[in-house]
Amino acid sequence: MTDDKRIYLFDSTLRDGAQTNGVDFTVSDKTAIAQGLDRLGVDYVEGGWPGANPTDNAFFAEPPELKHARFVAFGMTRRSGRSPDNDPGLAALVNAKSDAACLVGKTWDFHVDLALGVSNEENLEMIRDSIAHLQANKSEAMFDAEHFFDGFKSNRDYAMACLRAAQEGGASWLVLCDTNGGTLPHEVEEIVGEVCRQLPDSRIAIHAHNDTENAVANSLAAVRSGARQIQGTLNGLGERCGNANLVSLIASLALKTDYVTGVSDEQLKQLKSVSRLLDERLNRMSQKSAAYVGDNAFAHKGGLHVSAVEKDPRSYEHVNPDLVGNVRRIVVSDQAGRANILSRLNEFGIEIDPKDEKVNRLVEEIKEREFYGYAYDTAEASFELLARRLLGDIPEYFTLQRFRVMDDRRWNARGELVTESEATVNLSINGEATMTVAEGNGPVDALDKALRKSLLPVYPVLETMRLMDYKVRILTPQDGTEAVTRVMIESGGRSGRWITVGVSANIIDASFNALSDAITWKLFRTSQTPPQ
């Protein structure tokens, strides 16, 4: 056991994270993530299991260039009945271009019998000579003591004998794995403490799974008892419920303890962007409520919260969001008070006397609209328009006179099913009437195309605007086909991305409202003026 305060960070996103249901990394994903982790300052990046699949073979054949982190190859102890020199699994590890190796071995007698079908004594030999073989061929070999906590509870002498076998083989770290993730923090603290007392000369690490939502707490408990390396993954990716979330651990260690990691204050500011990098590579939404790095981690919605945060953010924030590369957000909704609204208006550059009666009217209007079904938490462009309309800032770019949408579902002469939509839109643009017809890939697409066809000759700036995402939510499903529908549209273009909202009992009408706001916001933001 070491008693210094340095905690080594070992990332297993590319190995245990790759064992997550639905996750399938390419070599280029692995390279980008490994380099992101290296930039962040983790000490070890486990790249995968050479010999297990073509992706990992290719990755280890041309490993990423890492400036700080040691690149680790994972594998298992030799098969029973083979010598280490003659084991294809160990050979793949030896040949892999990595700085270090990490070998998993059994430490629970139940598993030795069930999964390996060998004697307890033979398993000890497999651990000892496999680690010694890797230690002789790599600069470092560590031992992942699989199911260590369950093994310790079932037969502690045997679990400890497995650790000693790895120690005798020369393991650089003994990694205590809570493989099934069922151990609670007080048990981890006690067992790790006992291991550290029995093996004072070994370096102890923790590898916790999240099956009781305690992987982060278990990792911290292990550190309190003497573990000096934490294995985890970005955003808690991993087998079943995942691994300890290294992102949360890095931030908590840095900001709430006197332990020291390889992540500097400057690198800590990249925490959110490295967490995002993983989600982008997996093409999935980031978890908004993620600790430290989620969009909601420093979002304030309740009126009382916002009022106090405006005076001093420490009133409702446990740390400063800047420290982890995140930002504070003040959200507008029916939970808002004047402070939320004033803060948002301020962000839009709208100067208004806090005592102006219009602020109260805006608060009331938002609450009424949210009651009807609008949601302004994310539809910030619609919120800005609502506020600016009340203040008289938004010109009348166009006025809808009428729209009509037709859907046609039929079988053509070849017997193929055909669905077509057509929209007709009548607008008035500064008193001038226009009528356009467009076909589309569904009614909303047809409506969008017809609207733009009318507006483009007058406002060419709309050429670059695109519909990026479209979400529908039925708000009162108990009302059946008369239910209120909320449509959120995300648009994109040279003005970045912006979200608008529309609500109606009619899904097409709700879509029109959201589309109309999206176009109006674009015209306002690009300082267009209606034709005279």
Q: How far is the CB of 206 from ligand PYR (least distance, A)?
A: 11
| C-alpha–C-alpha distance, residues 323 and 230, integer Å | 21
Measured from the CB atom, the residue of 146 and 150 that comes closer to ligand ACO is 146
Q: Is 76 in the site for ligand ACO (CB under 6 A)?
A: yes
Measured from the CB atom, the residue of 103 and 446 that comes closer to ligand PYR is 103
> From the list 29, 144, 422, 490, which residue makes contact with ligand PYR (rule: CB under 6 A)?
144
| C-alpha–C-alpha distance, residues 141 and 171, integer Å | 5
Find tokens 């999206």 and name the residue.
518
> From the list 39, 68, 79, 388, which residue makes contact with ligand ACO (rule: CB under 6 A)?
79
Q: How far is the CB of 111 from ligand PYR (least distance, A)?
A: 10
Measured from the CB atom, the residue of 76 and 447 that comes closer to ligand PYR is 76
Measured from the CB atom, the residue of 181 and 373 that comes closer to ligand PYR is 181
Q: Are 339 and 331 in contact (CB under 8 A)?
A: no
> From the list 11, 140, 146, 517, which residue makes contact with ligand PYR (rule: CB under 6 A)?
146
Residue 76 binding: pick among ligand ACO, ligand PYR, none (C-beta 5-8 Å cut-off by kind): ligand ACO
Find tokens 């919120």 and name the residue.
383
Site string for ligand PYR, 15-54 (x = CB under 6 A): -x--------------------------------------
| C-alpha–C-alpha distance, residues 447 and 258, integer Å | 59
| C-alpha–C-alpha distance, residues 272 and 395, integer Å | 39
Measured from the CB atom, the residue of 172 and 378 that comes closer to ligand PYR is 172
| C-alpha–C-alpha distance, residues 301 and 312, integer Å | 15
Find tokens 């539809």 and name the residue.
379
Q: How far is the CB of 272 from ligand PYR (least distance, A)?
A: 26
> From the list 31, 69, 91, 106, which residue makes contact with ligand ACO (rule: CB under 6 A)?
106
Q: Is 153 helix (H, G, I), strand (E, B) or coil?
A: helix
- Secondary-structure breakdown of the chain: helix, strand, coil percentages, each rounded to the nearest 5: 45, 20, 35
Q: Is 11 in the site for ligand ACO (CB under 6 A)?
A: no
Measured from the CB atom, the residue of 37 and 177 that comes closer to ligand ACO is 177
Residues linked to residue 458 through DSSP beta bridges, in sequence order? none
Dihedral, 359, 365, 369, 374 alpha carbons, nearest 10: -20
Q: Are 394 and 388 in contact (CB under 8 A)?
A: yes
Measured from the CB atom, the residue of 207 and 281 that comes closer to ligand ACO is 207
Of 423-462, which residues contact ligand PYR (CB under 6 A)? Answer: none
Residue 207 binding: pick among ligand ACO, ligand PYR, none (C-beta 5-8 Å cut-off by kind): ligand PYR
How many residues contact ligand PYR, by CB under 6 A? 8
> From the list 20, 35, 179, 333, which residue makes contact with ligand ACO (rule: CB under 6 A)?
179
Q: Is 55 in the site for ligand ACO (CB under 6 A)?
A: no
> From the list 129, 239, 448, 490, which residue makes contact with ligand ACO (rule: CB under 6 A)?
239
Site string for ligand PYR, 182-221 (x = CB under 6 A): -------------------------x-x------------
Q: Is 177 in the site for ligand PYR (CB under 6 A)?
A: yes
Q: Is 23 in the site for ligand ACO (CB under 6 A)?
A: no
DSSP string, 64-131: PP-SSSEEEEEEEPPPTTS-GGG-HHHHHHHHS--SEEEEEEE--HHHIIIII---HHHHHHHHHHHH
Q: Is 105 in the site for ligand ACO (CB under 6 A)?
A: yes
Measured from the CB atom, the residue of 74 and 459 that comes closer to ligand ACO is 74
Distances in Å between the Cα of 148 and the Cα atoms of 107, 124, 246 are 6, 14, 21
Nearest to 104 by CA among 74, 139, 81: 74
Residues linked to residue 218 through DSSP beta bridges, in sequence order? none
How many residues contact ligand ACO, by CB under 6 A? 16
Q: Is 104 in the site for ligand ACO (CB under 6 A)?
A: yes
**Six token digits for residue 162:** 């497995």
Q: How far is the CB of 523 from ligand PYR (least distance, A)?
A: 54
**SS3 sequence of 422-491:** EEEEEEEECCEEEEEEEEECCHHHHHHHHHHHHHCCCCHHHHHCEEEEEEEEECCHHHHHHCCEEEEEEE
> From the list 7, 92, 104, 455, which residue makes contact with ligand PYR (rule: CB under 6 A)?
104
> From the list 13, 31, 77, 516, which residue makes contact with ligand ACO (rule: CB under 6 A)?
77
Q: How far is the CB of 159 from ligand ACO (least distance, A)?
A: 14
First to last CA, the chain: 80
Q: Where are the alpha helices (DSSP H) in 226-282?
A: 246-256, 265-268, 271-282
Nearest to 521 by CA among 448, 472, 465, 478: 465
Q: Is 519 helix (H, G, I), strand (E, B) or coil?
A: helix
Q: How far is the CB of 207 from ligand PYR (least distance, A)?
A: 6
Cβ-based neighbour number of residue 321 at 10 Å = 18
Q: Is 52 in the site for ligand ACO (CB under 6 A)?
A: yes
Residue 120 binding: pick among ligand PYR, ligand ACO, none (C-beta 5-8 Å cut-off by kind): none
| C-alpha–C-alpha distance, residues 444 and 511, integer Å | 7
> From the list 8, 44, 49, 383, which residue makes contact with ligand ACO (rule: CB under 6 A)?
49
Measured from the CB atom, the residue of 77 and 382 that comes closer to ligand ACO is 77
Nearest to 191 by CA among 164, 160, 230, 217: 160
Residues that bind ligand PYR (CB under 6 A): 16, 104, 144, 146, 177, 179, 207, 209
Residues that bind ligand ACO (CB under 6 A): 16, 19, 49, 52-53, 76-77, 79, 104-106, 115-116, 146, 179, 239
